[in-house]
Amino acid sequence: MEIQGKMVRLGNLTEGTSPRGAWRKQELIIETIEQYPKQVCLVCWNDRVAEAQNFRPGQVIKAQISIESREFNGKWYTDVRPFRFEIEMQQQQNQQMQQPQQFAPQTFEQPQNHIPVTEYFTTDNGDDLPF
């Protein structure tokens, strides 16, 4: 699956050791770019932590994700884990910033059939009604 959004913030780094070795975990919060944006917490593990730490708030990120749920004591917990990141629109933004924008000169012309404003208000037909 794929998700795209702007980086909102990076959570606290958690580190530990298990029987399989040392591990690192950090949450990356993004906001989707939709009519009704949603915030999604991506849980980054080990090598993905270093990648997530390179992102800055406001950057548009595209992530390939896997979604996994597990049960513990009768409650379900869901993780959204990224396994590949891409920074979106960086090249487009750089190109737009390097190319100056050119604007066409605007010309305004006077209307050909000019009726003086006083003609609209000087006619007196005997009543004060505008119609």
pTM for this prediction: 0.64
pLDDT in tens, 6-25: 999 999 999 999 999 999 99
pLDDT at 88: 79
The token duo for 3 is 């998700």
pLDDT in tens, 67-113: 999 999 999 999 999 999 988 765 455 545 555 555 555 555 555 55
Q: Please determine, for residue 2, whether its predicted confidence score (pLDDT) is greater than 70.
A: yes
Question: How many angstroms separate the first and last alpha carbons of the chain?
Answer: 65
* Domain range summary for the chain, segments of one domain joined by +: 2-89
CATH code that applies to domain 2-89: 2.40.50.140
In percent, how much of the chain has pLDDT > 70? Answer: 67
Contacting residues for 9 by C-beta, under 8 A, at least 6 apart:
29, 57
Smallest Cα–Cα separation from 20: which of 42, 52, 46?
A: 46
In one letter, which amino acid is 107? T
